Structure 1
Amino acid sequence: MPSLPEDKPIILIVDDTPDNLALLSDTLQSAGYAVLMALDGASAIDRLALITPDAVLLDAMMPGMDGFETCRLIKQDLRYQHLPIIFMTALTESEHVVQGFRVGGVDYVTKPVRPSEVVARIAAHVQRSQAQRQADLVLEMGMKAALIARSSGEIVWQSDLARQRLTLGWQAEPPIAAASDRASEITKSNEGHRSVTALPAPLGEWLQRWIAEGADTQVSLERVHGGVRRIVRVLGRASRGDWVMLIDEYDDTAQAIDLSTRFGLTAREAEVLLWLSRGKTNRDISDIVGMAPRTVNKHLEHIFAKLNVETRAAATAIAIQASGR
């Protein structure tokens, strides 16, 4: 699979005629699109397994698996429900047009294709599809501290809660790599609150490095400020070049106090139980809370007795249930 630019919409062209592929590829690349090509339906489905394009331009009549069957198979996968598929066909009879729409196509162009018409139709459907995907994400994430950021660090969209968590603590942290003026740009919102329009420097540099090193499906970065931990995760792509990020926040002090009150623990015992519930080893806990490993062991003995349990797993389960995680 060739390397594709992050900043261009991707169009998959499926046609069994190489001359048609060449013409359409040149036309779309000149119009600012990145292009993938396939000579048959099976190859098109293989391409989709590697990368999801922004639209598919699909020849209706191909030997073997025709375009209608190819479209039907693509649309069986829930990941491609919003993927616009535009048919290319010389068959303008109504039953063939209806068949294309019935299997999941959104539009069609007639052969021989007119390049200007193809570009215009693709542009309309790509824009509509991207807007729909972002609208779906906004509805899903509106109550969370979620945002959509470009690989450059520019914030495309952010929930109110994400805006709040971005303005607290991140600017005060030392940068992980060389800071960028762009990544720390701050403006005033209409309400007079600070509104982050680009990721703070630590987040922007971290995201760029993560993308450059090869993005996994999930990754996180943790910062502590004023006794509050903020953990940022990259959930995946919103669209080509845009990334969905989630900012979770944990008040360690408040959670430790709650554990202490619930179970009659001392402040230090509550700290140990809190970090135990987060999967930390005794050595980790010793480093985090600043006590000797033997002291951690002694606190664990007291915790087990007060919780009436005998194992770390049982104590962890009780702490997690109490914190509602």
Structure 2
Amino acid sequence: MQELTIYRLLLVDDDPGILQLVAQILSPYGYQITLLDQPDKFWETLEETNPDLLILDVELFTTHQAKNIKQVPLSGFDLCQVIRSDLRWNRLPILFLSAHTDVETIQHSFAVGANDFLNKPIVATELQTRVRTRLEQQQIWKFTETEALGW
């Protein structure tokens, strides 16, 4: 009997509405979904959840404590580059979601290491298909690497 794999997804977006929409679209597929709307807690959440796929907004905001609380932009591009340079996380599939649909943004997403890019507003069937495809490709890659090592 084959075991059912429950994939873990980490969704990072500073818009709680987008997080809820993505979770609603993907939850019928049995994924374990973690929503993060506070990018300053990214690394802690990444370690805790150990996701199989990361869905990341291109433009994030983080609140810094100062005299006045203000939101400071944080780039999903920057996070992606750091992830790609980290030996533990560099093969984590990353799918960008963005309202920025210009060619430069899309090309830059792939240049910093994204595996996929989807436009906002989100098309449910496209998101479902892309997530499933990325997870299946990751499983094939893991299986192939394990076989090559003779495990």
Q: Same fold (TM over 0.5)?
A: yes
Q: Which has the higher contact order (CA 8 A, sep 6+)?
A: 2
CA displacement at 1:57 relative to structure 2: 0.9
2-side partners of 1:79 and 1:134: how far apart?
18
Equivalent of 2:80, from 46, 71, 80?
71
Q: Does structure 1 residue 9 correspond to structure 2 residue 7?
A: yes
- 2:31 is matched with 33
- 2:122 is matched with 113
- 2:69 is matched with none
Q: Which amino acid aligns with 2:91?
A: H
CA displacement at 1:42 relative to structure 2: 3.0
- 2:102 is matched with 93
Q: Does structure 1 residue 81 correspond to structure 2 residue 90?
A: yes
Q: Does structure 1 residue 23 correspond to structure 2 residue 32?
A: no
Equivalent of 2:134, from 125, 131, 153?
125
- 2:45 is matched with 47
1-side partners of 2:113 and 2:29: how far apart?
26
2-side partners of 1:130 and 1:7: how far apart?
10
Specify whether residues 21 and 27 from structure 1 end up closer, same or farther in structure 2 by C-alpha distance, changes over 3 A only.
same
Unaligned runs of 5+ in 2: 62-72
Matched-pair contact (CA < 8 Å) for 1:42–1:70: no
2-side partners of 1:78 and 1:31: how far apart?
29
2-side partners of 1:73 and 1:65: how far apart?
13
Identity fraction in percent: 28
Q: Secondary structure at the match of 1:79?
A: coil
Give every structure 1 segment of 4 or more consecutive aligned residues whose post-TM-superposition deviation is greater than 6 Å.
none
Q: Which amino acid aligns with 2:97?
A: M
Q: Which amino acid aligns with 1:48?
A: L
Q: Which amino acid aligns with 1:123?
A: R
Count of paired positions: 137
2-side partners of 1:75 and 1:40: how far apart?
21
- 1:303 is matched with none
2-side partners of 1:40 and 1:135: how far apart?
36
CA-atom RMSD, angstroms? 1.5
Q: Secondary structure at the match of 1:78?
A: coil
2-side partners of 1:44 and 1:27: how far apart?
22
**Structure 1 length as normaliser, TM-score?**
0.40
Matched-pair contact (CA < 8 Å) for 1:85–1:106: yes
Q: Which amino acid aligns with 1:52?
A: N
2-side partners of 1:43 and 1:119: how far apart?
26
Specify whether residues 129 and 90 from structure 1 end up closer, same or farther in structure 2 by C-alpha distance, changes over 3 A only.
same
Matched-pair contact (CA < 8 Å) for 1:41–1:66: no
Matched-pair contact (CA < 8 Å) for 1:57–1:86: yes
CA displacement at 1:130 relative to structure 2: 1.4
Matched-pair contact (CA < 8 Å) for 1:68–1:103: yes
Q: Which amino acid aligns with 1:12?
A: L
Per-residue CA distance 1:234-283 (angstroms, 9 max, x = gap): xxxxxxxxxxxxxxxxxxxxxxxxxxxxxxxxxxxxxxxxxxxxxxxxxx
